[in-house]
Chain A
């Protein structure tokens, strides 16, 4: 079955520290890959996406993610976290073919930032 796993439910980092949020997927073929961020009470904002090409993807707000086919992973990174990055982060996948385009989401990782 198609699924997305975000192993870390909650992560706390100090402001200025580096961040890595993990995402693994189970899919029949390489899917499209996304990271979204959700602030409390808000909708989802797209941080970055991978469709094809360079496996290191740059996004907004200084985030990047690396697609590793051999590990079925698409981990999100940021070299220096800011207090405003505190939010919930969702990894999602979408099928390349034979799909109507709906996304499958992980359960999310809540990020807290210590001053």
Chain B
């Protein structure tokens, strides 16, 4: 009965490097959401994906950020050429589908530190 899995839990990158964050949704869940939490802030929506499709990326920065949820394997949030302002906790959530879509189950997060 595994919950939402995220790895790594902590990631340190130097400015200009790439960061890859992984999320495995709960078993049977086909909807994945990514959120970012800056210090002293609530979570901000970034992107919503279903298998092989990006449904809503209205919260994603226009540059350097991308997300995918392939047919097989985890969802990936990719940040290219990281900058210090990207330091944050990134949370993934999953839900089973349109019915109950708003009940989202969260992973433990990946804490990204950019040096």
Residues of A within 8 A of B (CB): 4, 32, 34, 36, 41-46, 49, 51, 90, 92, 94, 100-108
Closest 5 CB pairs of A and B: A105-B42, A102-B45, A100-B56, A44-B106, A94-B102
Bound: A4/B45 CA distance, A: 13
- Contact residues in A for B102 (Cβ distance below 8 Å): 32, 34, 49, 51, 94, 101, 103
Count A-B contacts at CB 8 Å. Answer: 61
Contact of B44 among A32, A34, A94, A105 (CB under 8 A): A105
Bound: A104/B55 CA distance, A: 17
B108–A103 touching, CB < 8 Å: no
Bound: A34/B102 CA distance, A: 9
Bound: A104/B45 CA distance, A: 7
Bound: A46/B32 CA distance, A: 16
Which of A41, A44, A45, A51 has the most chain B CB within a 10 Å cutoff?
Answer: A44
B107–A43 touching, CB < 8 Å: yes
6 contacts between A and B (CB under 8 A): A42-B108, A43-B6, A43-B106, A44-B43, A101-B102, A105-B42
Bound: A41/B31 CA distance, A: 24
User: When A43-B106, A43-B109, A94-B102 are in contact, do A105 and B33 touch as well, CB less than 8 Å?
Assistant: no
- Contact residues in A for B45 (Cβ distance below 8 Å): 102-104
- Contact residues in A for B35 (Cβ distance below 8 Å): 103, 105
Bound: A44/B41 CA distance, A: 14
A107–B106 touching, CB < 8 Å: no
A100–B42 touching, CB < 8 Å: no
